[in-house]
Amino acid sequence: MDNWRDELLKDVEAYLARTGMSASEFGKAVGGGPMVVFRLRKGHGFQMRVIERIRAFIKPKPGAKKPSRPRKRSEQRASA
């Protein structure tokens, strides 16, 4: 595997462990689809824009105590 891919996968895995987010939920949240993490684990390549979205999503937010997690559809409907 390429060095950038190893580093990105390590960062994504750490984010998933820290937040408890599932791999498919993460993929949907970054806009790459539910298979993003699985494809990354298998060594597939990505377009730069997907990599940038992943990096931006896992980057710590200033003042945030816990990384954000997208709300599930059922949670979104309940609040509407």
Q: What local confidence, expressed as pLDDT, does residue 62 receive?
A: 73
Collapsed DSSP state (helix, strand, coil) of residue 48: helix
Quote the tokens at residue 72.
């599930």
Domain boundaries, the chain: 3-79
Q: What local confidence, expressed as pLDDT, does residue 36 receive?
A: 93
Cα dist from 65 to 28, 70, 73, whole Å: 22, 15, 24
**Among candidates 79, 71, 67, 73, which has minimal Cα distance to 11?**
67
Residue ranges of the chain with pLDDT lower than 70? 1-2, 63-80
Compute the distance between CA of residue 7 and CA of residue 28 in angstroms, rounded to an integer. 21
pTM of the model: 0.71
